[in-house]
Amino acid sequence: MTSPLRNAALATLAAATTLAAQDAPKPTADFVRDVLPILESRCFECHRAPYEDERGRRRNPKGGLRLDTRELLLLGGDGGPVVVAGRPGDSALYTRTVLPADDPDIMPEKGDPLTPAQADVLKRWIAAGAPFGDWTGATTEPAPPVPATSGRATLYARLAADLAPPAAATLRTALGAHGRAEPLVDAGSLLRVSYPAHQESVDTAALRALGPLAAHVAELDLRRTPLTDLAGLPRLPRLVRLDLGSTRVDDAALRALRELPELRSLSLCGTPVTDRGLATLAELPALEHLYLWQSAATAAGVATLRARRPALHIVLAPELPADAPPQRQPERPRRR
């Protein structure tokens, strides 16, 4: 028989072995083997290169964040870097995956949360310095031109007719240190202009600087910039899409949009624009799509605008598929 003293010793040894195993450092997560499969299955759907959906609408990476390429993953999105090498607690790529399941900031935004094991992989990889090995990911070249089958491609082809691409010096002058231009047609004569990760740098002077590039800008992304008006916006004769979401642009500022004869799509989500501003928008002859979610516009104001412009597609709330379940209202606003 085994003595009680020996039993106690064996139990102590087993406990010590268990604690030692728990305290032993876990191996560094390999990016290609461990991290990349998580990003591919749970993140790339929303955070990849811009593309055209089946309805010909351009889909840009959410929050300006691309995770499908090493360079842009490290650059981060609209809110800045999401990975701080060696500091998982300061890296949103990890911290937003371990929020409570009902937190509106949790990522991934769709589907189930990451498992504890998946979140731990991200944590260990970042803690080890976020090494990528030889992985570089998708190309960081601009998104391919709009497919020729889409209606917008026809529009862009018309707008680009006989328009030569801008000179490199013009691009450098107009975009400064923080602007980015992506070609929308093969020749590169029509451009999408944005300021990824540097929205705070966009002011009236930055808008005025676009003047030499005015003939070439077909899409302009000014989301989350500190703009309160559009006083510096040059006349952009070929501008088709304008995103002013989450800015402080107000009703009075919208008068500048009368100088945009080709404007088809306008986002004013999260702005202080009210029903008074909608009256100005009714005067934009080419406008086809208007996004007003979380603006100060009301259902009554939208109804009045629809009566004046029945063909105008207006979104006052998030659009869901017809068979989607009712959307749960967040308990608190999403942090910016």
Please check the confidence at residue 177 and state whether its pLDDT lies above 70.
Answer: yes
User: Which residues are CB-contacts of 98 (< 8 A; sequence separation ≥ 6)?
Assistant: 114, 119
Q: Angle at the Cα of 302 (from 296 to 306), degrees rounded to 5?
A: 155
CB atoms within 10 A of CB 251: 19
195-234 pLDDT, tens digit per residue, is 887 889 999 999 999 999 999 999 999 999 999 999 999 9
Which letter, b or e, does each residue of 125-137 get, where b requires 16 or more Cβ atoms within 10 Å of its Cβ?
Answer: bbbbebebeeeeb
In angstroms, how far is the first alpha carbon of the chain from the final one?
67
Nearest to 277 by CA among 299, 258, 254, 298: 254
More confident residue, 328 or 122: 122
The pTM assigned to this predicted structure is: 0.57
Q: How many whole angstroms separate alpha carbon 40 and alpha carbon 35?
A: 9
Q: Which residue is it, tokens 């005025």?
A: 208
Report helix, strand or coil for 204: helix
Beta-bridged to residue 266, according to DSSP, are 242, 290
From residue 157, alpha-carbon distances to 21, 130, 152 in Å are 64, 43, 8
Nearest to 219 by CA among 245, 244, 240: 240
pLDDT for the residue 214? 96
Of 123-127, 163-167, 193-197, which range is least confident?
193-197
The pLDDT > 90 percentage for the chain reads: 55
48-78 pLDDT, tens digit per residue, is 888 776 666 677 888 888 898 888 898 887 7
pLDDT for the residue 54? 62
Q: How many residues does the chain have?
A: 336
Determine contact, residues 314/302, Cβ cutoff 8 Å: yes
Pairing between β-strand 289-291 and β-strand 265-267 as defined by DSSP bridges: parallel
Report helix, strand or coil for 209: helix
Confidence of residue 121 (pLDDT cuts 50, 70, 90): very high
Determine contact, residues 38/118, Cβ cutoff 8 Å: yes
User: Which residues are CB-contacts of 232 (< 8 A; sequence separation ≥ 6)?
Assistant: 203, 204, 205, 206, 207, 208
Mean pLDDT of the chain: 83
Confidence of residue 334 (pLDDT cuts 50, 70, 90): very low
Please check the confidence at residue 2 and state whether its pLDDT lies above 70.
Answer: no
Please check the confidence at residue 24 and state whether its pLDDT lies above 60.
Answer: no
More confident residue, 334 or 183: 183
pLDDT for the residue 277? 95
| Average pLDDT estimate for 271-283 | 95
Determine contact, residues 193/217, Cβ cutoff 8 Å: yes
More confident residue, 137 or 279: 279
φ and ψ at residue 225, rounded to 5 degrees: -85, 160
Please check the confidence at residue 322 and state whether its pLDDT lies above 80.
Answer: no
Question: DSSP letters of 105-157?
Answer: T-SSSSSSPPPHHHHHHHHHHHHTT---TT--BS--SPPPPPPTTSHHHHHHH
Please check the confidence at residue 336 and state whether its pLDDT lies above 50.
Answer: no
